[in-house]
Structure 1
Amino acid sequence: MKISHLSPDKLIQQELGARLQKIRKQYDYTQTQLAEAAGIGVATLRRIEDGKDSQLSSWIKLMKALEMSNAIDQLLPESFNSPMAEALSRKRRSRASDSPSPIWRDELK
């Protein structure tokens, strides 16, 4: 499933949990093995794989244990060029430059 900004939170959690489970199985890890490698409880890993709420710190530990730290960096890159943000910024700048110059009271005489 492709995750988008329109995807409900619960569906995103379920999808990420399913992806994690798939990766864990590709590594041929049991839940116990991955949980121990990550330093989290097996119950926590089960909740994550089931798409339940979880702490970001647990995800970070799991990603490190799976040697996927680069995915953490991709989650929120240091800089991000959003086409929508750029368009809104240009719109704000053009509005400011389109406004007439202020009239001073002494110019009304």
Structure 2
Amino acid sequence: MDERKRDSMIAYLRHRMEEFGIKPEDLAAVLASEPAAQKAGRYRSATGDSWDGQGEMPQWLKQAISAGQSIDHFELSAAPAPAPQPKKRVDWQNDPFAGSPLARSNNR
């Protein structure tokens, strides 16, 4: 959907919500309580395709496995992935070799 259509749809929905007295909080509460919204897939691809493990295996997963990828790679964990730690910054102000021939050496 292009941006113009999206903006038009948002305006329409806001108008209709106002017309019926629906607040965004009401809508959010209903969406959060729906079982379909809570149903998560067991496997997910990098492009967002998912499969709950029931029924026939989807084509995207069959192709990945036949290409040598493990099915475990696509399995969703129950716990969220840990947040990446920020890289430690190096303080070059106190570097004893700054400006010396040793610091400019190309022998690495």
Q: TM-score range by the shorter chain?
A: 0.3 to 0.5
Relative to its length, the structure with more helix (as a share) is 1
Higher relative contact order (CA 8 A, sep 6+): 1
Scaled by the length of structure 1, the TM-score of the pair is 0.35
